Structure formats: C-alpha cells, structure tokens
Amino acid sequence: MKLAICNEMFEDWGVEDVFLCAAKLGYDAVEIAPFTLAESVVDISQTERDRIRKAADTANVEIAGLHWLLVSPKGLHVNHPNGDIREKTRDYFFALISCCADLGGKIMVIGSPNERNVLDPLTPEQAWDYAQDTFAACAEFAQEQDVILCMEPLASQHTNFISTPAAAVEMVKAVDNPNFQIILDVTSTAAENLDMPTQIRKYAEHVAHFHTNDDNGYLPGSGNVDYPPIIEALKEIHYTGYLSTEVFNFEPDPETIARRSIEFLQPLVG
C-alpha cells in the first residue's frame, strides 16, 4: 500500500511546495483536486501539465490522480434532467480524464455529491439510467487513457444518490468496464453505520482506491474508528493501491495534519 495526501487542504500553497512537503514527510503520492489548479482543467495548458508532472517527479512523489472533480466549473451534473447539461458534464469528464493522464495520474474519484443528486422531476431509476450512460461513456475513454474511475459512496446526509458501497458496486456492474470501480472512504462508511472491514472483504474485487480519514471528518486516528482491523482487511485482500488522506477540517495547518496522518498510518501499514 502507498500513502497519499489530498492537496486541497494546503489551500494557498503552490502545487510544487505540496509535492516537496509530501515527499519530506514520507508520502508516496499527492492526490489533486483540479479546482486548486484552475476553474476548468481545459484552461490548464499542456506546458503547465508537463511542468506539474515534472515537479512531482523532481520531488520524487507520484500524482495519484484527481478528486473533487465537478466542483468547478459551475453547472455540471451527471444525471441532470436536461440532456445538454449531461452532455456538457460528460465532455468535461473527458477533459478531466485527459488531464489526469497528462499528469501521470491513474485514479479519478467520482464524489461531488451535489452534482449527482437526484433532481425533480426524475425518479431514482431515471437518474440512475442517466448516470449509468454518463459513466459508461467516460469509462470507455478512461480505459483508452489508462485511468480508473472510482465511484465513491457518499453519506446520505450529503447526497441522495449512491450512499453505500453496495449501491456503488451495483453501478460498477451496470457500467461493466474494468476501468470503472469503487473507492471506499472511512468517514462516509462510518456515517452510514457500516463496518469497514466487512465492506472491504465483501467488495474486494472492486476496491481500487481508499480515502483515510475518521468518523469526525478529520485525520485518521482522530476519531472513534478502529483502524487496525481496516488495515488488516486491506492486507488480507492484497490491496496495493493508495491510502489517501482527505480531511474536511484544515486546522491547525496542512503540514501538521499531513505529518500526524502519516505518523498514524505508517506503523499500521508496515
């Protein structure tokens, strides 16, 4: 397993400085939220993409991939009643996939709860079909670019569309593409009162990424989640991907959060 850190908590840091900090602390990779680079990835030139990738190489860290995909530009929605908006969202996914590949990333996390909520007048079934169509088209392009799209179950307090690993795997099976899998997130799974080790073992063949945090939305080890059984379950299924720390509270500062997170996880991972 490799240890990664998400970059949005670094807020006003340059991405090169994030890479250097992550490397100094012992991380293998950085996971990038594209809105921290530009409002739209279309605006990130090939020269800038090459520069970012080289900066990661120079710092000796990988770019794990992208998450928080649809925060900007505004107006995107994977299963919107309006077909033009769905098409615009699909096309932006294609742009994200290209950007991820250009940066050397392999993983894209489909979270963005507001941009997938079931909207009136759609039924849940209609929203599901629209999302499936969007994801199927994106997965085909992702396969060409050697990028894996990861459906993220998000707690029902944040979205009314795909809140459990079971639902995420149902979508994975519907899309039926090896480059469309799931990510498990500790905070979201805890919010649904699900036992994470059980979820890991049950859906082992589809787990392509993992977000480490705690039931309080903060860094791993700061809440009530029992972490050793989680890491043991990941070892048991021979998970070799990233453990990527994503927090929703940026206090006291990003470097302290990143340091405390890796100090907690490294001994468990071994």
pLDDT category at 102 given cuts 50, 70, 90 is very high
Phi then psi for 205, rounded to 5 degrees? -70, -15
pLDDT category at 119 given cuts 50, 70, 90 is very high
Q: Which pLDDT does position 249 carry in this prediction?
A: 97
pLDDT category at 212 given cuts 50, 70, 90 is very high
Q: Which pLDDT does position 130 carry in this prediction?
A: 99
Mean pLDDT of 87-97: 99
Q: For the chain, what is the mean pLDDT?
A: 99
Do 51 and 16 contact (CB within 8 A), yes or no? no
pTM listed for this prediction: 0.97
CA angle 247, 22, 37 (to 5 degrees): 70
**What percentage of residues in the chain have a pLDDT greater than 70?**
100
Domains and CATH numbers, the chain: 2-269 (3.20.20.150)
Q: Which pLDDT does position 251 carry in this prediction?
A: 98
Integer CA distances (angstroms), 120 to 8, 71, 126, in order: 32, 21, 11
Three-state helix/strand/coil letters over 124-185: HHHHHHHHHHHHHHHHHHHHHHCCEEEECCCCCCCCCCCCCHHHHHHHHHHHCCCCEEEEEE
Mean pLDDT of 155-179: 99
Q: Which pLDDT does position 116 carry in this prediction?
A: 98
Mean pLDDT of 53-62: 99
How far is C-alpha 47 from the chain's CA centre? Answer: 25
pLDDT category at 71 given cuts 50, 70, 90 is very high
**What percentage of residues in the chain have a pLDDT greater than 90?**
100
Tens digit of each residue's pLDDT (9 = 90 or more) over 223-268: 999 999 999 999 999 999 999 999 999 999 999 999 999 999 999 9
Q: Which pLDDT does position 235 carry in this prediction?
A: 99
pLDDT category at 73 given cuts 50, 70, 90 is very high
**29 - beta bridge partners?**
4, 62
Q: Which pLDDT does position 81 carry in this prediction?
A: 99
Q: Which pLDDT does position 50 carry in this prediction?
A: 99
Q: Indicate the pairing of strand 207-212 with strand 242-245.
A: parallel
